[in-house]
Amino acid sequence: MTAAIDPARLAAFALIALGMVLTPGPNMIYLISRSICQGPMAGLVSLAGVAVGFMIYMVCAAFGITALVFAVPYAYDALRLAGAAYLLYLAWQAIRPGGRSPFQVRDLPRDGPRKLFLMGLATNLLNPKIAMLYLSLLPQFIDPHNGSVLEQSLVLGTAQITVSVTVNALIAIAAGSIAGFLGRRPFWLAVQRWLMGTVLAGLAVRMAAEGSR
């Protein structure tokens, strides 16, 4: 039987997805940094990698594969700690002596489309919270009486990806204009570096401190 999702239920899920994407996290921080470092197009290429990461998690959750990862504590811990280590690396790059703000475009290396895409993909895949959100959030909006659970999962997952990609694309496009503003204000460049480093380190510590669920 073809799945049918109540429009009100779908709208509620989309609203929650909107709240999720507007909450600062590794994906948003990376996309903003890359857009300002290298321009909006680089941010959009990176966003394509993030979108593929969402699709991988969506398909895994829909078919129940992701549940196996969380059934094995060591597998979850490995993914969680890898993500935390990656965030700490980004934090160090932001505040290290001689380091530069991602808003300082001139002296930063320009990554090619392939690397931008893969970095966006890695940033998303190394965040186990994405998988947990699919596992804990989607089931609340699925009604087995409305048809195929798999189809409902894919429809809801597609809605979440659509909302996330649309909002992040707008953010990536707008972020590029910030470079000109900060480029003329060295003090704010320094503030940005330490603020970015602090946020990334805080996210890393929080992720590393979370136990398996």
* Binned average pLDDT, 10 residues per bin, the chain of 213 residues: 73 81 74 82 93 91 70 70 74 69 54 90 81 72 78 89 92 74 67 74 75 49
HSE-CB for 94 with a 13 A CA cutoff: 26
What letter does residue 82 receive in the DSSP assignment?
Answer: H
Rounded Cα–Cα distance for residues 148 and 4 (Å): 8
Contacts of 108 (CB under 8 A, 6+ apart): 37, 38, 100, 102
CA-CA distance, 82 to 127, in Å (whole number)? 9
pLDDT, residue 68, reads: 61
Q: State the pLDDT at residue 70.
A: 64
Report d(CA 210, CA 213) in Å as an integer.
9
Q: What is the DSSP string of 113-174?
A: HHHHHHHHHHHHHT-HHHHHHHHHHGGGG--GGGS-HHHHHHHHHHHHHHHHHHHHHHHHHH
Contact 211, 128 (CB under 8 A): no
Give per-residue pLDDT as tens, 117-159.
Answer: 998 999 888 876 677 677 767 777 777 777 777 888 888 999 9
pTM exceeds 0.75 for this model = no
Six-digit token pair at 79?
Answer: 């993914």
Q: Which of 1, 7, 9 is closest to 147 using CA atoms?
A: 1
Residue 107: per-residue pLDDT: 45
According to the model, what pLDDT value does residue 183 have? Answer: 62
pLDDT in tens, 35-46: 887 888 988 999
Q: Give me the helix-helix angle, 40-62 and 113-125, nearest 10°.
A: 40
Residue-level pLDDT at 166: 95
pLDDT of residue 54: 92
Region for residue 39 given its phi and psi (left: phi exceeds 0; alpha: psi -120 to 50; beta: otherwise): left
The domain limits of the chain are 9-17+25-209
Best CA proximity match to 131, nearest among 84, 81, 64: 64
